[in-house]
């Protein structure tokens, strides 16, 4: 581009309070290739856009830079204005001197100098820009939801009910997430299982949902609208197609004193288990790190008592590649324990009840 127009926005006082926008506009006018430069109170307003359109016509501009707020907010606004003035919309760029400059600085001189540098960099981007044309790309109308907690379950059901295929991947043996661990929900104190269990069953039975539990995302290739996702299916050591969910293997397992992750280690579970009674799917998984058979090869009780022959000690991890067009990440959370950042203990006689930090311990 050889004739670039630079428009510096005050954004009311959001920018001009910290940045000397007049200086920025003046410095921009001295950059080689800039044919027009000005500042205006609100560039996104109708008069501001009209100013841009008139400048393109009067100064025969072949590129436009608007120094203002985030491109996420107003890039479309200014590109439409540039297009209305006869420019290719992709020859219009934005320099973010609000979030990246005025809002993160207090020193006016420093902020102004930084704004000048940001504008100078973005002028070079405009200079090397090329006219582009929109293209259309076929989209895979199938979604991936990562995480089978309440957020992932609801997302999967909403997408599936809208008529689209969904792949739901959960790394634990059952869907449900943290909500399945609760007794009541705030603020109504409704039973969490009463809310969760029907939704879990709906996910398992929905014709548009493919459910993968005890599985993890191994790799994501492709681009927006067309992703190829590699899913790792961890070996449960139990064949889901044969298991009836009778639970005999769990009652007969001789190793039953393993801390149960579902209730935060307050209870115990066997080496072959389902996380909780309402688990979906209701198919056990063998904890190979604690299973006597995998550690010494001297047990095998669960295989002996399994009528359908579902227990398979030789089962290996498998991988599938799923084609999806959209990905929803609903991977949940882990509690942040206070011992990672203990509260300070106030010195005696120096703090009052209104300002003192909470003590790290107390006695009743």
If you write DSSP's letter for every residue of 239-293 in order, what string do you get? -TTT-----HHHHH-S---EE-TTTTTSSEE-SEE-SSTT-SS---EE-TTT-HH
Residues of the chain with CATH 3.50.50.60: 142-234+317-329
pLDDT in tens, 9-23: 999 999 999 999 999
CATH number for domain 4-127, candidates 3.90.550, 2.60.40, 3.30.70, 3.40.50:
3.40.50
- CA-closest candidate to residue 23, choices 94, 107, 114, 92: 114
Per-residue pLDDT band for 361 (boundaries 50, 70, 90) equals very low
Closest CA to 158 of 328, 362, 282, 10: 328
pLDDT tens digits, 151-191: 999 999 999 999 999 999 999 999 999 999 998 988 888 99
Alpha-carbon span 78 to 75, nearest angstrom: 5
Q: How confident is the model at residue 362 (pLDDT cuts 50, 70, 90)?
A: very low
Q: Are the beta carbons of 246 and 238 closer than 8 angstroms?
A: no
Look up residue 206 and give its DSSP letter: -
Query: Does 356 score more than 60 pLDDT?
Result: no
**154 near 170, Cβ under 8 Å?**
no
pLDDT digits (tens, 9 = 90+) for 71-130: 999 999 999 999 999 999 999 999 999 999 999 999 999 999 999 999 999 999 999 999
Q: Which residues contact 362 (CB under 8 A, 6 or more apart)?
A: none
Q: Model pTM?
A: 0.72
Q: Which pLDDT belongs to residue 337?
A: 80
CB distance 271 to 290 below 8 Å: yes
- What's the pLDDT tens digit per position in 319-345? 999 999 999 999 988 888 888 777 765
Confidence of residue 354 (pLDDT cuts 50, 70, 90): very low
Give the integer Cα–Cα distance in Å for 78 and 80: 5
Q: pLDDT above 70 covers what percent of the chain?
A: 94
Cα gap 258→275, rounded to integer Å: 12
Beta-strand relationship, 4-9 and 63-68 = parallel
Tally the C-alpha atoms within 13 A of residue 106's C-alpha that lie toward its C-beta: 0
- CATH 3.40.50 residue spans of the chain: 4-127
Run of H or E including 150: helix 150-161
**CATH code for residues 142-234+317-329:** 3.50.50.60
Task: Give burial (CB, 10 Å; 0-12/13-18/19+) of 93.
Answer: buried
- pLDDT for 221-258, tens place per residue? 999 999 999 999 999 999 999 999 999 999 999 999 99
Q: What is the mean pLDDT of the chain?
A: 92
């Amino acid at each position: 581009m050889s004739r670039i127009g630079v428009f510096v926005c005050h954004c009311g006082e959001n920018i001009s309070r910290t940045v000397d926008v007049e200086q920025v506009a003046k410095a921009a006018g001295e950059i080689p290739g800039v044919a027009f430069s000005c500042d205006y109170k609100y560039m996104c307003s109708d008069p501001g856009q009209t100013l841009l359109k008139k400048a393109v016509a009067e100064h025969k501009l072949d590129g436009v830079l608007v120094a203002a707020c985030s491109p996420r907010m107003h890039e479309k606004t200014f590109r439409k204005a540039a297009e209305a003035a006869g420019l290719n919309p992709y020859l219009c760029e934005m320099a973010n001197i609000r979030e990246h400059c005025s809002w993160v600085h207090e020193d006016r001189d420093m902020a102004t100098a930084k704004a000048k540098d940001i504008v100078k960099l973005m002028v070079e981007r405009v200079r090397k820009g090329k006219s582009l044309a929109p293209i259309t790309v076929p989209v895979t109308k199938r979604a991936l939801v990562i995480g089978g907690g309440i957020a992932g379950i609801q997302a999967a059901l909403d997408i599936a009910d809208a008529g689209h295929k969904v792949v739901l991947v959960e790394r634990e043996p059952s869907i449900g997430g943290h909500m399945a661990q609760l007794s009541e929900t705030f603020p109504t104190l409704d039973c969490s299982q009463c809310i969760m269990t029907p939704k879990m069953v709906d996910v398992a039975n929905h014709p548009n949902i493919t459910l993968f539990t005890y599985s993890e995302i191994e790799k994501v290739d492709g681009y927006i609208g067309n992703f190829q996702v590699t899913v790792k299916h961890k070996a449960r050591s139990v064949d889901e197609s044969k298991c009836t969910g009778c639970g005999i293997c769990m009652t007969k397992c001789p190793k039953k004193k393993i801390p149960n992750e579902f209730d935060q280690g307050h209870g115990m579970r066997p080496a072959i288990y389902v996380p909780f009674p309402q688990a979906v799917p209701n198919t056990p998984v063998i904890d190979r790190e604690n299973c006597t058979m995998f550690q010494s090869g001297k047990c095998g009780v669960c295989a002996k008592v399994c009528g359908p022959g579902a227990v398979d000690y030789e089962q290996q991890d498998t991988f599938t590649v799923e084609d999806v067009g959209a990905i929803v990440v609903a991977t949940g959370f882990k509690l942040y324990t206070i011992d990672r950042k203990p509260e300070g203990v106030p010195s005696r006689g120096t703090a009052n009840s209104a300002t003192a930090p909470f003590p790290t311990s107390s006695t009743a």
